[in-house]
Every structure is written in structure tokens, then in C-alpha cells.
Amino acid sequence: MNERRKPYSFDRFEPKWQAIWDARQPFHAANPGDANFDPGKPKFYVLDMYPYPSGTGLHVGHPEGYTATDIIARYKRMNGFNVLHPMGWDAFGLPAEQYAIKTGQHPAITTRENVAKFKAQLKRIGFSYDWQREINTTAPEYYRWTQWIFLQLYGAWCNPQTQKAEPIATYEGDEPDAVRLAYVADVPVNWCPELGTVLANEEVIDGKSEVGGFPVVRRPMRQWMLRITAFAERLIDELAPLDWPDGIKALQRNWIGRSVGAVVQFRIAEGSAGFRPADSGILAGIPETNGKGARKIPAHANKMSALPQITVFTTRPDTLYGATYLVLSPEHPFVDALSTRENAAAVASYRAEIVSKSDLERTDLAQEKRGVFTGAFAINPANDERIPVWIADYVLMGYGTGAIMAVPAHDERDFEFAQKFQLPIREVVAPEPRSNDGGERPCSSPPLVCMVEPGFAMNSPLIDGLPTEAARNTIIEWLEAQGMGQRTVVYKLRDWLFSRQRYWGEPFPIVWRNGQHEALPEGELPVETPALDDFKPTGTGEPPLAKAKDWVRHSESAMRETNTMPQWAGSCWYYLRFCDPRNEERFVGEQAEQYWMGGGKPGGVDLYVGGTEHAVLHLLYARFWHKVLFDLGYVSKPEPFQRLVNQGIILGEDGQKMSKSRGNVVNPDDVIDQYGADAFRCYEMFMGPLEQMKPWSMKGVEGVARFLARVWRLVMEENQAGDWVLASSVQDIKPEKPLLKVLHATIKKVGEDIETLSFNTAISQMMICVNALTNLPVKPVGSLRTFLILLNPFAPHLTSELWQTLAGPFADGAGEIDAQRWPTHDPQLLVEDEVEIILQVNGKVRDRVRVPLGASDVELERIARANVRIAEFTAGKTIRKVVVIRNKLVNFVAT
């Protein structure tokens, strides 16, 4: 593009101002204790979700949220806040490692190159980050503290009495390793042979790896786990006071998946099986503690009685009389022992079939229910009835107790199963209270449909006629009195699988001695990643770090842990490090943490902007770590992020998701080359509401560029040589009232809109203001200056340049524009002395008239009645009613 084509010379002044900002550091925020710290100012912490610096560079989605936060940051600074607005790099992760495997280039090199690229791109957009606070999760100075926090988790437990993390020293039991927040367990994990690593449940989509789409199989392995389930209750409850979108809160609640119900014990009927249940506490998904009551869940429930019992979890204990069979998960440890000789073969072959299936096949909802009878019977504690015990893969080992009581009349899945295998169906809940004619009896004509809704108990002697809620409570009390069950809360949330078999991640600060794990002393941190030439996975599940033989050998008797932490680890606390990024004594200085993460709200970061894709994982994990640190006294607030906003996805021009394969990807660099950074920023904000999904449009960018060019030409004109010089129409005169009015309306609206993140309408209003200014033959310099300040957060380069240009010939423009105070509007100037009111007949607008502001109802009606148009439309009709709304309208109801 040649020079003449450029609407204004952004390519000259944008780099100029970026260089000035680099040199003068006007956006550096001082910490408490620093020489130039001003304690009189309130703080504002506005944070972006930091990026993974990929090889492909920024796409237009990144700068959407970044521009929004940049506008807020600049606006808040001009409003007298100390603003913390940092940026860093989430640089551990698979792509760099995959690249290393392919090319042999060390991930550290790839990372350094990518970070440089990203940083250059971000600077080109003119973001006002405090680059002195830049952090990188792969720097040993950073991950030293990630490892330190892990040690806090390892050295803590969650006290069920208080529901709070405490140092492990306060635990009085004899198995500290069973309660640590970081613990080792042999668990069936998502093993991805292709990637040579284990994946978290969240990283597996439809039985395939989220990264790469490779098949994933289940396989038991020794893994590090974090006991996030101990905080399930608080992670739900403490969402309430946060200013997050309701949808995100719902997503988190749903993910945690709290269900209130009861565990119920079913005795195994004598002579029905071999009574050799494996000794095992099997309550996946049930934390050690149980909500408010902090009761110990009977994890040993299955060995409480002399006789073997099957423990089930149900949310509908009121339907106990309708439980006509039990179903165990195929992986349930009792299965072998329960199976009778005649059924053993069928059971074994069914289990073999299930094991061979991928998660994808297994969870396919469309298929018919499958299962086999074990040959065993259990006793329903409510009515002592012998009911058959089946196994079926629709019962998941990972949730509840891995066993259910099937109530086919009132549960869709059980209903479907019972129909397929002709199991009895007994109705025990009626939509209306129903008189009971003599106790329960098997339904002679089983219901054709199952009713899952609450209703009134029937065929259930203990609770007949009671509404579901009351019936539920009565049954639970009865079960508890009998020692056959207990009120219980279970969660879908599982403990967090925290180890990965990867090279490019934080090593664990742990060594193994005589088969026992042990924390390294803090003095040995950071445990640095060993040098390695070959990053390939071992294929056996042993992590690549195991190849660094010298490194692994910590001492004569101790070997290092060779797993690494998942990518989430670094992002669980980066917002804390930003407060005090160079501290070598502590993960964050106390004073800095109290200042930036303090305030009157439960959450420390005032505004956090990022994509919805992190709605559950990152945000849940970070909240969990934060709570642990809070409980242990290291941070001052229980929640990390007070206000959360998700920016919407930007689609390609074709309305499709941007992707290389579709060829609809928009590169920010190209846009900036053509239209400049300010136009790029403003367009991203002008497209539509921040939180909404919206398609890119190059034409739209042009429109916004035109707007900025008009701003440029308000101040500048081309002389005969073709150079831009200060326009002669800019003069130091007093603005007329109409201009003042639109200017002050703009001050008001832009301020309000920035506060509510409605940047699109703020820009609309500024366009209106520019149109008004353009039409004036002489432009008052004071009004132009005020306008430039309003536009500055959106278009910082352009406004800086014009501000500086005006500073020469005119007085009163001291200092850079970003050091100016945000203007306040004068409400007096906005008051109209006349308003236009509309005249309606039967709700239809027939005319409009200008009347003095505040004209009385009587006056308005008089004016309306005298109106010709009104007379025309009411002619021949009777006026039934007149509605007068002051300063708005008069409506005649006529028939």
C-alpha cells in the first residue's frame, strides 16, 4: 500500500509512541514500599488470561479481550487508580514438546522464540501492560514457587470439622498419607499411547485426546492426585458473592455436580453367592467429608457388618420399596465374589467385553442397555424381599458407590433395563395421594411409563401418602436408625489427576526412598528440568524424565519423582505472582498481595477477562489452590477473581469458526499493516458486545479506520507540499452550546459505557461527536482536547500524537495525554429546555410537537387536542381515555 492510500500516517506515529512508552514506562505500577508508590490511590487489578505462546502467533481472538482490558486499564489510570495490568506466558505445554520430538529443538528455545513473537505482536497493538512484571511459567524463578505451592498442598490436609486446609501436623490420625491434599494413588487413568501420557478427564473428548485427537484407553497407573473434592462444597457455596456470569457459575456448579441422597446397605441373601467380597472401600466421587455435618462417610461401609453388604447410593431413598433389583458396575470389586458358578462364565465374558470397549463406545447413549445376572440375591432392607443382583455398564464405578438400587418404575434407565430383561417393576410413587388397599404388593400390571417426577409415596408402608420430600427424609431417618444407611452428599467432581508423563512441565519437588514419597526441603527448590536430547515418550508410561539417569538419582537412597505437573499448574497462581513478580523470598510479598489482591470483596482481581473455554477447568483449579493458600494464611481473600467476563469468539468473514483449513483466519499483523493498530483496536471493540460471538468484517475495519481518519483531520490538514500540519480551523475559542451539549453527552456516555464494558456503543457516541465537530468551520481546541482524552483508551497512538501536536501552538495541554485526568460532564449542559413529545391515537404515532420541558399534563392534553392530525384521526370517534406521560407522549383512546 502506498503512502497516499493511507488515510493518515499511523505507520509513522504508532511505532513512535510504542518506543516512547517502552522508554518512559508510563504504565509501570509501583508496589507498596516502592519510592514512587502513592498509597492515596485506590487499586484496580485488571487481568487477562495470559496466552500459551504458540508458534503461529496471535490470532484476532486474543486481542479482543486484551483490548477491552487495556481500555479499562487506561481509563482507570486516568480516573486516579493505581492499576495493575500485567502480562505473561503460560509456556509449559505439549506443542513445544511435540515440536521438540519432531525436530530435536529444545522446548526452551521454541518457547523463547514464540514468546518474543507474541510480545512483539502485543506491543504492536499498543497495550499498556506493565512489562516489568512479565512472567513466564517455564522460568525456574517462577516454577520454583509453583513447586513450593505443591509442597504446601502435600503438607496439608482438609480438616473435616472446619472444612479448611490445615498443616498436616494438625492431623491426629495414623495415616497422614491418606489425607494429604496431594497424594499418590493407583488409579485407572486415561492413557494416550500416541502422546505417551496420561490425560485428565477434561482433556479427553469422546474417547480421544483433546490435543491431536488420538485414541485414549483406560489403564491403572500410579499417579499424583490433588484432593479438590474436599473443597467441593466450598467451591459451590463461595461462588455466590462473585460477579461472574450466571452461566459460568452454573457451569461450575454443574461440573461439581452436588447430589443429596443416601447410601443404603443391602445384605446379600444367604446361600446366593460365595461371600468373598474383596476388602475395599469403594466410594469414588465421595469425599472423605460430607458437607456441613462433616460426618465421616462410611467408606468402610461394605465391611461394617459381619455379613457382606452392597452399598448403593440413591437420591431417591423414598423409592426404596420400589427397588426390585440391584445393579453393580462391571468393575465393582464384589462382582467376582458374588457370581455364582452357573453365572460366572457369562459375567466374565461380559466384563471382558466391557473392558475392551473404549470410553466412546461405552458411553454411547444410543445403544440398548446391556448387562448380566450374577446369580446372587440381596435383601431389600425395607421389605426383606430377595432381589436379584445384576451387573451393567450403565452403572459407573467412578460415581457414588459404583452400585445402585434399581427402581424401574421411577427411573428411566432402570425402566429401560427392566423392560429389556423382564425384571419386576413396582410403582411406589403416585402423582396424587392414593389410598392404599392393604400394603405393598407386586404390581400385577406394571406401569407402561415410568414416573420420575416427585409425587406421593404408595405401596410403601413406612411412608405411604407422604410427599416425596418428606418420604425421603423419613426413610433416611429410618435407615439411619436401623444402621442400614445414611444421608450422604456425593459429587460428580473427581480428585484432580495431577501428574503427566511429559518432559516440558514442572518437575515434582518429591523424592522416593524405600518406596515412600517424601517432600524435598524448600532449600532445594527449584527442582530444575534436566537437560535431555531425546524428548520422546518412553511408550511404557514411564515419563521422559526417567531418561535423565543422573538427575533421577537424588542421593544414595533417594530417586526423584519423574512425573511432571500438568499445564494448569502454572496458571493456578500466576495472578498472584504478578503482584510481586521478582520476589525471591516468597511466592508473593505479603504487602503486595494485601494491596493488589485486597479490597472489600471476596475476590482479589477486580476484573478478569478471557474465553469461556476456561469456564470450568482453569477457573476451578485456580479457585481450589487459592482457597488452600487462603486457609493456610498465605493470601488475604478466599477467592481469586471477583469479576469475570468472557469475550465472545470471533468468527471468520464467512461466519464460520476461524481455522486454517477453512482459510478464513484473520492475522492481526495484516490488519495493522493496512489500517493501523488503533483501527484494529477500535474495530475489535466496535464489532458488537464483548461477550457475544461475532463475525469479522474487513469492511467494518475500514469504516472504523475512516472514523479515526476523520478525527485526524479534525486537527490536521495537508499543506501544499502534501505534509500533514496543524489545521488552521483549530482555534482557541469558546465552544458554542450545541457543541458543548454533544461533547458532554459523549463524556457521560463513554464513561458509563466503559464501566459496563459496552465499548461498541461508546464508539458510536464518539462517532456522533466527531460528526458534530467535523461540521464546524472552526474547532475549539479545548473541546478537541477533551474529546481526545475520551478516545485515548481506544486509540492511544492517534490521540497521543494529536495531543502532542496541539501542545505546541496552544497553551494548557501540559503533559502526555495518558497523564491527563478523565473529564467529568456537566449535567446542566445536558438539560433540554424543550422536548419533543409524540401524539398518538390508539397507540399509533400521528404527530410530534415540541413543548417546554416539564409542561403539565393539562397543558399537554390541551396542546394535543388542538392538534390537526389528532383531530383528523379522532374525527367521528368518541375519545374514551387520554393517557398523558409528561415529557413523553399523549395518547388518545378513541372508538
Helices (H), 263-377: 335-338, 341-356, 359-362
CA distance linking residue 614 with residue 625, whole number of Å: 16
659 binds RNA (CB under 7 A): no
Residues 56-95 that bind RNA (CB under 7 A): none
Contact flag: residue 395 with RNA (CB under 7 A): yes
Site stretch for RNA (CB under 7 A), options 246-254, 336-344, 778-786, 793-801: 246-254
Query: Among residues 299, 348, 430, 838, which is the contact residue for RNA, using CB under 7 A?
Result: 838
CB of 386 to RNA, least distance (A): 21
Q: Is 787 in the site for RNA (CB under 7 A)?
A: no
- Residue from 30, 845, 853, 871 in contact with RNA (CB under 7 A): 845
540 forms part of the interface with RNA (CB under 7 A)? no
Task: Give the contact letters, 281-300, x = binds to RNA (CB under 7 A), - = no.
Answer: ----x---------------
Burial 309-341 (b: 16+ CB within 10 A, else e): bbbbbbebbbbbbbbbbbbbbbbbbbbbbbbbe
Supply the minimum distance, in Å, between the C-beta of residue 792 and RNA.
18
* SS3 label, residue 204: strand
Single out the segment in contact with RNA by CB under 7 A; choices: 191-199, 256-264, 582-590, 776-784: 256-264
The residue within the footprint of RNA, chosen from 155, 257, 530, 589 (CB under 7 A), is 257
Sort strands 834-841 and 844-852 into parallel, antiparallel or unpaired. antiparallel
What minimum distance in Å lies between the beta carbon of 703 and RNA?
Answer: 3
Question: One symbol per residue from 261 to 280: x for binding RNA (CB under 7 A), - otherwise; what is it?
Answer: x-------------------
Residue 824 makes contact with RNA by CB under 7 A: no
Binding track over 185-214 against RNA, x by CB under 7 A:
------------------------------
How many residues bind RNA (CB under 7 A)? The answer is 86
Window of 122-130, 190-198, 738-746, 762-770 that interacts with RNA by CB under 7 A: 762-770
Instruction: Report, in Å, the least distance between residue 296 CB and RNA.
Output: 20
Task: Kindly state the smallest distance separating residue 516's Cβ from RNA, in Å.
Answer: 33
The one among 13, 21, 191, 313 contacting RNA by CB under 7 A: 313
Residue 770 grid cell: 466527531
In the set 295, 413, 434, 865, which binds RNA (CB under 7 A)?
Answer: 413
Whether 626 and 635 have beta carbons less than 8 Å apart is answered as yes
Amino acid at 238: E
* The binder of RNA chosen from 215, 761, 776, 863 (CB under 7 A): 761
Judged by beta carbon, residue 547 or residue 694, the one nearer RNA is 694
Nearest-approach distance from CB 848 to RNA, in angstroms: 6
Q: Give 325 or 595: the residue with its C-beta nearer to RNA.
A: 325
Nearer to RNA, 128 or 324 (CB): 324
Q: In this complex, which beta carbon is closest to RNA, that of residue 402 or of residue 793?
A: 402
CB-count burial class (<10 Å; 0-12, 13-18, 19+) for 391: buried
The one among 114, 329, 567, 786 contacting RNA by CB under 7 A: 329
Position among 25, 482, 659, 771 found at the interface with RNA (CB under 7 A): 771
Residue 654 CB coordination number (10 Å): 12
Q: Is 840 in the site for RNA (CB under 7 A)?
A: yes
Residues 6 or more apart whose Cβ sits within 8 Å of residue 571: 50, 90, 137, 618, 621, 622
- Is 28 or 362 the residue whose CB approaches RNA more closely? 362
* Smallest separation, CB 112 to RNA (Å): 32
- DSSP-derived pairing of the beta strands 889-894 and 879-885: antiparallel
Q: How far, in Å, CA of 453 to CA of 30, rounded?
A: 59
Q: Distance (Å, rounded) from C-alpha 460 to C-alpha 440?
A: 6
CA distances from 12 to 3, 673, 676, 679, 857 (A): 11, 11, 10, 14, 60
Least spacing, CB of residue 790 vs RNA, in Å: 14
Residues 4-63 that bind RNA (CB under 7 A): 4-5, 7
Min dist CB 401 to RNA, Å, is: 7
Q: Which is nearer to RNA, 591 or 756 (CB)?
A: 756
| One residue of 121, 159, 383, 760 binding RNA per CB under 7 A | 760
Strand partners, 274: none
- SS (HEC) of 445-479: CCCCCCCCCCCEECCCCCCCCCEHHHHHHHHHHHH
How many Cβ atoms sit within 10 Å of the Cβ of residue 23? 8
* CB-based contacts of 93-102 (< 8 A; 24+ apart in sequence): 93/52, 93/504, 93/505, 93/567, 94/195, 94/211, 94/502, 94/504, 94/567, 95/52, 95/54, 95/55, 95/211, 96/504, 97/502, 97/503, 97/504, 97/535, 99/55, 100/503, 100/504, 100/535, 101/535, 101/536
Which H or E run includes 210? none
Q: Binding segment for RNA among 43-51, 273-281, 528-536, 766-774 (CB under 7 A)?
A: 766-774
| DSSP helix/strand/coil, 307 | coil
Residue from 187, 301, 404, 671 in contact with RNA (CB under 7 A): 404
| Cα angle, residue 396 at apex, residues 391 and 398 outer, rounded to 5° | 135
- Nearest-approach distance from CB 335 to RNA, in angstroms: 14
Q: Which is nearer to RNA, 133 or 748 (CB)?
A: 748
Distance between CA atoms of residues 866 and 632, nearest Å: 77
Q: Does 754 bind RNA (CB under 7 A)?
A: no
346-363: buried (b, 16+ CB within 10 Å) or exposed (e) per residue?
Answer: ebeebbeebeeeebeebe
Q: Whole-number minimum distance, CB 683 to RNA, in Å?
A: 9
How are beta strands 650-651 and 694-695 bridged, if at all?
Answer: parallel
Residue span 858-887 as binding mask against RNA, x where in contact by CB under 7 A, dash where not = -----------------------x-x-x--
Helix axes 107-124, 668-675, angle to 10 degrees: 30
Peptide bond preceding 215: is omega within 30 degrees of 0, i.e. cis? no
∠ CA(646), CA(696), CA(93), 5° rounding? 50
Cβ neighbours around 260 below 10 Å, total: 12
Residues of this chain, 688-747, that bind RNA according to CB under 7 A: 688-689, 692-695, 697, 699-700, 702-704, 706-707, 709-710, 713
Contact window for RNA (CB under 7 A) among 163-171, 301-309, 310-318, 475-483? 310-318
Measured from the CB atom, the residue of 366 and 814 that comes closer to RNA is: 366
Least CB distance from residue 612 to RNA, whole Å? 6
CB closer to RNA out of 180 and 426: 426
350 touching RNA, by CB under 7 A: no
- What residues from 470 to 509 belong to the interface with RNA (CB under 7 A)? 490, 492
For residue 194, the tally of other CB atoms under 10 A from its CB is 14
84, β-bridge pairs: 45
- The cell for 73 is 486499564
Residue 316 in the binding site for RNA (CB under 7 A): yes
In whole angstroms, give the CA distance from residue 339 to residue 670.
68
321 binds RNA (CB under 7 A): no
87: cell is 502480562
Shortest Å, Cβ 423 to RNA:
15
User: Which residues from 599-618 bind RNA, rule CB under 7 A?
Assistant: 612, 616
Q: How far is the CB of 38 from RNA (least distance, A)?
A: 35
Least distance (Å) between residue 327 CB and RNA: 8
Identity of residue 705 = A
